[in-house]
Structure 1
């Protein structure tokens, strides 16, 4: 199957969203590597934790309790997280100020360890993320899945997007487009599908000069159930 030119995808998305100006107003702008480098390791742990808790839960409920999370977990300070003994983690998981879920609370300890180890190797977790090449963003997804806890699927990629790292997202609409055009034909998270997705996004990025996040959004807006 011949791959669509991105101009065709863009035109369809613009039509569905009410014009080019309206479409452009919806697109995210990633941070520069210099801007990413200013993010503290604590903020990364907070972001991962928030996304982990939002999985399978109301995002509104998580957000409404988030200040309590910040207080209960000492602002997600990495050094403090590494010093918390297991029995204290268990007590914190029963604190009514937060959402009580021992499994998800324990991801904080494991993801703090991942961030700490990355900081030892790269100077900071942000430095590692900032330096990770866009043409292998799936490699960063794989790193988060293998070294973190509950950061597989779209949890890791969505956190990267929220924090400003340029990444595409294999959302339902994007995955459906890739399947319908024959770019992927197996499981979404298989190595074959991830490599094929990365190759397609790399091609579109060379064609357009746009960041991966915008390409991903435009593809999603061009198809699926997101009409105005």
Structure 2
């Protein structure tokens, strides 16, 4: 099956959202590489932790409690957190100010170690993320899954998107489109599906000159339940 041209996807999204202006107003841009490099380690750790806790829980519930997370976990300052003993982590996991979930709380020291270890090959974790090429963005997903904790599936990709890294997302709408058009035909988290999706997005990026993030959003707006009222 021939891959659909991006201009056709855009036209469909434009029609569904009430015109070009309305569609473009919905689309947000990723950060520049220079801006990504300015993100500090504590913000990466906070971003990953927020997405871990939002998995399987209402995002709004996590957002409402997030100031408490920042307080309980020292603003996610890695040097301070790495000084905690296992007993102290267990105690923090029982703090009623946060969502009490020991397994998810224990991702914090694990992902702190991942962020810190990136300094061995790069100037910083932010530098590594900024320099990671878009044509192999799913390999960055794999890196987070392999070296981090509970950052597989869509969690790592959503965290990257939230932090401003240019990446597409295999949301339900995007995944459905890719399946209907025959681009992917295996499990969403399989290497085969991710490579096929990355290849398709690279082609659309060459056609349009847009970021992976923009293309992902436009595909979502072109199908599924994303209709203009």
Matching of residue 47 in structure 1 with residue 40 in structure 2: no
Structure-1 separation of matches of 2:61 and 2:190: 33
Residues paired across the two proteins, number: 228
Where does residue 210 of structure 1 map in the other structure?
210
Where does residue 131 of structure 2 map in the other structure?
131
Where does residue 3 of structure 1 map in the other structure?
3
Where does residue 180 of structure 1 map in the other structure?
180
Matching of residue 193 in structure 1 with residue 193 in structure 2: yes
Structure-1 separation of matches of 2:132 and 2:176: 27
Where does residue 169 of structure 2 map in the other structure?
169
Structure-2 separation of matches of 1:189 and 1:53: 20
Structure-2 separation of matches of 1:179 and 1:153: 17
Unaligned runs of 5+ in 1: none
Structure-2 separation of matches of 1:182 and 1:167: 21
Structure-1 separation of matches of 2:3 and 2:143: 29
Structure-2 separation of matches of 1:152 and 1:204: 25
Matching of residue 64 in structure 1 with residue 64 in structure 2: yes
Where does residue 140 of structure 1 map in the other structure?
140
Cα displacement (A) at 1:71: 0.8
Cα displacement (A) at 1:72: 0.7
User: 2:28 aligns to what SS in structure 1?
Assistant: coil
Structure-1 separation of matches of 2:115 and 2:220: 31
Structure-2 separation of matches of 1:210 and 1:63: 30
Structure-2 separation of matches of 1:222 and 1:119: 40
Structure-2 separation of matches of 1:27 and 1:197: 20
**TM-score, length basis structure 2:** 0.98
Where does residue 115 of structure 1 map in the other structure?
115
Structure-2 separation of matches of 1:67 and 1:119: 28
Where does residue 85 of structure 2 map in the other structure?
85
Structure-1 separation of matches of 2:72 and 2:3: 50
User: 2:137 aligns to what SS in structure 1?
Assistant: helix
Where does residue 35 of structure 1 map in the other structure?
35
Cα displacement (A) at 1:120: 3.0
Structure-2 separation of matches of 1:82 and 1:120: 17
Structure-1 separation of matches of 2:80 and 2:106: 14
Cα displacement (A) at 1:50: 0.5
Where does residue 26 of structure 1 map in the other structure?
26
